[in-house]
A and B are shown apart, each in its own frame.
Chain A
Amino acid sequence: MKRRDFVQIAGLGLGGMMLPLDMLGNPVPAEALLDSPLTTVQKKQFADAALNTARTNGATYADVRIGRYLNQFITTRENRVQNIVSTESFGVGVRVIAKGTWGFASTNDVSTDGIKKATERAIAIAKANSKFQTEPVRLAPVPGYGEVSWKTPIQKNSFEVPVSEKVELLLGANSGALKNGANFASSNLFQVNEQKYFASTDGSYIDQDVHRIWPTFTVSVIDRASGKFKTRDAMSAPMGMGYEYMIPKNEDKLPGPRGMFLYRNSYDIIEDATIAAKQAKEIISAKSVEPGKYDLVLEPNHLGLTIHESVGHPLELDRILGYEANYAGTSFASLEKLKSGTFNYGSKQVNIIADKTQVGSLGAVGYDDEGVKCKQWDLIKDGILVNFEAIRDQVHILGQNESHGCCYAQSWNDVQFQRMPNVSLAPGKEPYSSAQMIKDVEKGIYIAGRGSYSIDQQRYNFQFGGTTFYEIKNGEVVGMLNDVAYQSNTQEFWNSCVKVCDEKDYRMFGSFFDGKGQPSQVSAVSHGSSTARFNAVNVINTGRTI
């Protein structure tokens, strides 16, 4: 799924007909999402056609991805359905190394002939680009895994749930918000299923079935007299789960400040929308923040985005090397800083882990898109930078001979490249709850949910907002705040982390739309953490008059 398609589907696009775009896939009846067009035997035959063609045409390495990408989006507003779209995109991408250079081609002609032709094109591109090659591709070794499979451990396939049931739930959330004072309420449910078959000349044939789900809403409250409007977005997270995420369980519900709830591995959209309407009304008349230094108590559904921008991105090796210099940028986290073994990225409380296997996360797969078995590894240990995020053709630059397994392509017709794995802050080891954390703060702000975010091209200076802000005075939450954003510098911020709550508070934040590359590709990624405290962070007031 591409971001602009999401924008179009979600009805946020401007002008034009509400037709789904071909990039997303062809619209299909909902039942068609449960079909399986090819058996693994057929996929293996097609894959072998590509690999054999590559070998006989001079490729020293080849991989092939036969992908079927299914999406269903339901968008609603107040008491009506705006759009229900089910899409399918099916095709093959072939990547080769010839003359020491990468080449890639794709086709939606999933036949032996179509796949052979795409392979020949990939080889021709590799040979043409080899003229500009200064460093031949060097791949870290990967064992051939033979014929293996992996599936997201879902309990209920969301594509099997009748559309009418999902619509009813979303309209129920809108109704809950409207009955509690919202002027407008819109809600959406996005469901994704990537059926990916990967094969390579290393001897792997990997069949994977990946599921993701994301319920979300926006509730708006308007005060006509003052001309003010405020919105409150959902406290849900996109998850690597099935429809079980939509069935609320008490054990997944954590109490937040002032009657608010936060959610772990299941979500109550109606309850959250109801609370959201009440909160949005409260925000309209909340106190505007006094700028200055505050101790921040950041809950996981907020902190996840800060982790994403200030840790996940700067530690991408391709970016550090300059491959993203013309777009996303480079990084302050240099090879020298890593090699020194002493670069204090954060305080001793900061342990950051990369993990492509975490159950329920968006990034979890068995194998990445170049056939590497996924794993977990340390990025920051006791505050010290210890590793980056790297794939097969670059990990040797770190003096390592094993890929980290974080290669991904958004579709069969896009070339795979290094993407951010799930990057998470480890929970504190001592028992410590978020309620205790608030009690220990004298002058602070508790921030929940994602908001505005911006960071420079080398990932030093950032500014974040949030969904809701609560003022803490002498260990008590005294009320909501408005116009809050905090600014800091990555290293300074992570060194101001003085405490992380224990694992009982641990939850995941997620994003469907991490963007990178030219042409741009999106990737879905989660970031887990427990609530954490950062001392003396600079808070600005964002209120203005126009």
Chain B
Amino acid sequence: MAILSKEEAKKILEKVVNFSKADGCSLTLNGADRGNIRYARNSVSTAGEDSNVTLGVQSYFGKKSGAATINEFDDAALEKTVRRAEELAQLAPENSEFMEPLPQQTYLGESKTFSEATAKITPEYRAQAAADSINPAVPKDVTAAGYLQDSRGFSSILNSKGLFAYNKQTSVDFTVTMRTNDGTGSGWAARDLNDISKLNASETSKIAIDKALMSREAKAIEPGKYTVILEPSAGGDLVRLMLNMNARQADEGRSWLSKKGGGTKLGEKIVDERVNIYSDPWNDEVPASPWSGDGQVRKKMDLFKGGVISNLFYDRYWATQKNVAPNPFPGNAIMDGGTTSLEDMIKDTKRGVLVTRFWYIRPVDPQTLLYTGLTRDGTFFIENGKIKHPIKNFRFNESPIIMLNNLEALGKQVRCVTSEGGPGGGGGLLIPYMKIRDFTFSSLSDAV
């Protein structure tokens, strides 16, 4: 029963809300069928599937609330869960920040997050994708390691104030690492999708194979400030770090969005004027749910417009404190691209570095959004408009704010997978190729 229709979900939730004896309650009903296959050393290592539907009940009395979940759906189990949430609510301390649930909202249309093709994935499909990835590696003297995971599911919410919302979604994440058997070259490619019919495991794997072969016997160049061309996965991994635009932290003075002397940087120009980043649940490439987890309406929203911070995210409690409208965390982020092709970016670079992806990115200073991390799986030196040779990996210390002030050119947008797995932070991420000057590489790494 992993994927319930809108009507089936509503029927169960209405039954549950009728069991409530509390001042009110909020319910969630979510389900998913998930599958995965993992391979390494040119052989499948693990494969699995799981399926689950879970009901969550949050009951409240005044400002005291309690929560319970269950994955059984007979009437007795449903009622028991409501009673358990109510018992926990009675025992809980008062939370002065508790907000009563929202009334019915008007959402701005059906989402595009579900794909029939993805919903039909079978274990045989996954095994074939693994074979399609491994097979081209073997004759090239390359070893494949990869992972494909897919999910089809639904989310629904209903509360005692009459709000109901439903969305169904599918997702596919495919990542593959190809390493040359002499251990001197490594390449990576990835796809993050809603619709499996857009995945070509063989083509994606061939990109990783080419990168592995091209990156053999890398040479060391001096660390320092370089012009970089960031493939979308690399750029996206840094851009997403700017997108936790929490208003409360900013107001409290403990965020890069806090202003000297008090207040926030909302409305200030902070990066290059060509930087436009926005959220749009109906974007075809990175569709998102039209409602947030607590039932708020999601709409198209500017995050950075002409380099200016256009919006901060206010939860419902903080919005009441600041007398503003609540603004939920978005479900995706899209950065406008430009017209410069990758080839032209390379052609126009006198001395620079082409980066496939970054790895092990960790915060260094939250005040300046300084992060450190390394290049990985395909880093190349550009000289006089041409890729000259592969280079050893670099460690960087850089802030995405500084990076986007040093923007040189923007190219085509691509949907990104983040370097440590899964889709972009906060949902799908659509990021262009970027050319950046003065990017700070602080040391060399021998890692392949």
Give residues in A with beta carbon < 8 Å to B. 14-22, 26-29, 80-82, 84-85, 102, 104-105, 108, 125, 128-129, 132-135, 167, 183-184, 220, 222, 224-229, 231, 321-327, 329-330, 332, 413, 415, 452-461, 463, 465, 483, 485, 487, 489, 518-520, 538, 540, 542-546
Contact of A461 with B443 at beta-carbon distance under 8 Å, contacts A134-B43, A543-B365 already known = yes
Contact assessment for A460 and B397 in the assembled complex, using a CB-CB cutoff below 8 Å: no
Q: Which 4 A-B pairs have the closest CB atoms?
A: A16-B293, A227-B260, A461-B445, A15-B329
Q: Does B171 contact A (CB under 8 A)?
A: no
Complex interface: chain A residues within 8 A of B179 (CB):
322, 325, 330
Give residues in B with beta carbon < 8 Å to A. 26, 28, 36, 38-48, 50, 52, 54, 56, 58, 67-71, 84, 87-88, 91-93, 95-97, 123, 127, 130-131, 143, 145-147, 149, 175-177, 179, 244, 246, 252-254, 256, 258-262, 270, 292-294, 313, 328-329, 359-370, 372-374, 376, 393, 395, 397, 399, 401-402, 420-421, 426, 442-448
Contact assessment for B261 and A125 in the assembled complex, using a CB-CB cutoff below 8 Å: no
Q: Residue on A with the closest CB to B363?
A: A452
Contact assessment for A452 and B362 in the assembled complex, using a CB-CB cutoff below 8 Å: yes
Complex interface: chain A residues within 8 A of B246 (CB):
14
Q: Residue on B with the closest CB to A125?
A: B47
Contact assessment for B370 and A84 in the assembled complex, using a CB-CB cutoff below 8 Å: no
Contact of A463 with B372 at beta-carbon distance under 8 Å, contacts A224-B262, A322-B145, A487-B442 already known = yes
Contact assessment for A485 and B372 in the assembled complex, using a CB-CB cutoff below 8 Å: yes
Q: How far is the CA of A301 from the CA of B112 in the complex (A)?
A: 48
Complex interface: chain A residues within 8 A of B260 (CB):
224-227
Contact of A544 with B48 at beta-carbon distance under 8 Å, contacts A19-B58, A487-B395 already known = no
Contact assessment for B362 and A454 in the assembled complex, using a CB-CB cutoff below 8 Å: yes
Contact assessment for A456 and B360 in the assembled complex, using a CB-CB cutoff below 8 Å: yes
Contact of A519 with B149 at beta-carbon distance under 8 Å, contacts A27-B67, A227-B261 already known = yes
Contact of A26 with B147 at beta-carbon distance under 8 Å, contacts A80-B95, A229-B367, A457-B359 already known = no
Q: How far is the CA of A304 from the CA of B328 in the complex (A)?
A: 39
Complex interface: chain A residues within 8 A of B359 (CB):
329, 456-457
For this complex, 5 residue pairs linking A to B, each with C-beta atoms less than 8 Å apart, are A16-B292, A227-B258, A413-B50, A463-B443, A546-B402
Contact assessment for B372 and A452 in the assembled complex, using a CB-CB cutoff below 8 Å: yes
Contact of A133 with B26 at beta-carbon distance under 8 Å, contacts A540-B397, A543-B365 already known = no
Contact assessment for A17 and B293 in the assembled complex, using a CB-CB cutoff below 8 Å: yes
Contact assessment for A454 and B374 in the assembled complex, using a CB-CB cutoff below 8 Å: yes
Contact of A518 with B58 at beta-carbon distance under 8 Å, contacts A326-B176, A326-B177, A415-B46 already known = no
Complex interface: chain A residues within 8 A of B97 (CB):
80
Q: Residue on B with the closest CB to A230?
A: B367
CB distance from B355 to the nearest CB of A (A): 14
Contact of A220 with B360 at beta-carbon distance under 8 Å, contacts A22-B71, A29-B87 already known = no
Contact assessment for B46 and A544 in the assembled complex, using a CB-CB cutoff below 8 Å: no
Q: Residue among B175, B262, B293, B363 with the most chain A CB within 10 A?
A: B293
Q: How far is the CA of A322 from the CA of B253 in the complex (A)?
A: 45
Contact assessment for B36 and A542 in the assembled complex, using a CB-CB cutoff below 8 Å: no
Q: How far is the CA of A455 from the CA of B401 in the complex (A)?
A: 23
Q: Is the interface of A mostly helix, strand, loop or mixed?
A: loop
Contact assessment for A82 and B293 in the assembled complex, using a CB-CB cutoff below 8 Å: no
Contact assessment for B258 and A14 in the assembled complex, using a CB-CB cutoff below 8 Å: no
Contact assessment for A455 and B28 in the assembled complex, using a CB-CB cutoff below 8 Å: no
CB distance from A459 to the nearest CB of B (A): 8
Q: Residue on A with the closest CB to B159?
A: A17
Contact assessment for B370 and A544 in the assembled complex, using a CB-CB cutoff below 8 Å: yes
Contact assessment for B258 and A229 in the assembled complex, using a CB-CB cutoff below 8 Å: yes
CB distance from A251 to the nearest CB of B (A): 35
CB distance from B107 to the nearest CB of A (A): 16
Q: Residue among B93, B246, B328 with the most chain A CB within 10 A?
A: B93
Contact of A323 with B41 at beta-carbon distance under 8 Å, contacts A26-B68, A229-B254, A540-B397 already known = yes
CB distance from A443 to the nearest CB of B (A): 21
Contact of A455 with B360 at beta-carbon distance under 8 Å, contacts A225-B261, A229-B258, A546-B368 already known = yes
Contact assessment for A224 and B253 in the assembled complex, using a CB-CB cutoff below 8 Å: yes
CB distance from B277 to the nearest CB of A (A): 16
Q: Residue on B with the closest CB to A413?
A: B50
